[in-house]
Amino acid sequence: MNTTTQTLAGAPWKQGVKDAIPLLGGYIPVAISFGLISVQSGFSVLETILISTFIYAGASQFLFVAMAASGAPLWLVVIMTLLINARHVVYGPNLSPFLNQDKKWLPLMHGLTDQIFALAHARLPQLPGQARLGWYTGAAVLAWLSWIAGTALGAIAGGELTQRWPLINDVLPFALPALFFVLIIPRCNNRLWSLTIALSAVTAVILKMSGYPNVAIPLAAMSGAVLFFALKNQPIVGEH
């Protein structure tokens, strides 16, 4: 990653908000879909909004409402939804070298989603230490509020919205792969990392298309890591 420290012209939280704006293209359509499906599954508008506010994890929420609506045992619902989120265990440790000892980081970990992790992992090393808390707060809070607002919109008027503007669901979500792409492409600065990144991405595509979307991210990431360790001492592709 580019670790050149940047100076910020404005307040750090404003830069965080600005950097997180591309996330909205992915968050809002998915949140609208969740709001719609949740209400159709029998949850009230308020319950739906509370689910998004406090669980705040896309795949888990969809699984939660689907399993709850199908009458699955609740202990199984809890275990399955937490298992889906198990990949998050590596996010905090990866960011921790860039965060100071401020206690405000603790509640902010609620906002550490896949997308915020990807964004923070690329941006925090580039920011001066004193700007990181404000930057992360701006980015994470915008993403959280957009998720809640999108959910509310979907729960209240999702059916009509997606019927009238189907492109909301079809076009805007492309912002997510585009975002991940610009976050990961600077890492491809040598053959070893290029191969590692390529294998992770291709494996994820194959797993998702094969019907395993929930294990695609951890398994694809592990396959890339295995390749990295297998090749790192090979002189042709090595880092040095």
Partner 1 sequence: MDTSMWLALVSIAIGTYLIRLLPYMWMKRSLAKRQTEDGVGSMPTWLTILGPTMIAAMFGTSLVPAHSDVVSWFATGVGILVTFGVWTRTRSMGLPILCGVVAFGVIRLLLPVSLV
Q: Which residues ranging from 131 to 160 are in contact with partner 1 (CB under 8 A)?
A: none
Contact pick of 141, 156, 184, 231 for partner 1 (by CB under 8 A)? 184
Contact pick of 128, 222, 230, 239 for partner 1 (by CB under 8 A)? 222
**Token pair recorded at residue 195:** 């191969």
**Smaller CB distance to partner 1: residue 27 or 134?**
27
Q: Does 213 bind partner 1 (CB under 8 A)?
A: yes
- Binding part of the chain for partner 1, among 7-15, 128-136, 143-151, 225-233 by CB under 8 A, reads 225-233
* Shortest CB 165 distance to partner 1, Å: 12
Contact pick of 71, 97, 211, 235 for partner 1 (by CB under 8 A)? 97
Q: Give the per-residue contact string, 29-48, with partner 1 (x = CB under 8 A; - = no).
A: --------------xx--x-
**Smaller CB distance to partner 1: residue 81 or 134?**
81
* Shortest CB 229 distance to partner 1, Å: 7
**Smaller CB distance to partner 1: residue 66 or 114?**
114
**Smaller CB distance to partner 1: residue 135 or 193?**
193
**Smaller CB distance to partner 1: residue 134 or 224?**
224
Q: Does 231 bind partner 1 (CB under 8 A)?
A: no
Nearest to 15 by CA among 111, 112, 120: 120
**Smaller CB distance to partner 1: residue 11 or 46?**
46
Task: Give the CA angle between residues 188, 115, 60 to the nearest 5°.
Answer: 130
State whether the Cα torsion 126-128-133-134 is positive or negative.
Answer: negative
Q: Does 179 bind partner 1 (CB under 8 A)?
A: yes
Which DSSP string corresponds to the chain? ---PPPPPSS-HHHHHHHHHHHHHHHHHHHHHHHHHHHHHTT--HHHHHHHHHHT--HHHHHHHHHHHHTT--HHHHHHHHHHHGGGGGGHHHHHGGG--S-TTHHHHGGG--HHHHHHHHHHGGGS-GGGHHHHHHHHHHHHHHHHHHHHHHHHHHHHHHHHH-THHHHTGGGHHHHHHHHHHGGG-SSHHHHHHHHHHHHHHHHHHHTT-HHHHHHHHHHHHHHHHHHHTT-TTT---
Contact pick of 27, 34, 228, 237 for partner 1 (by CB under 8 A)? 228
**Smaller CB distance to partner 1: residue 22 or 156?**
22
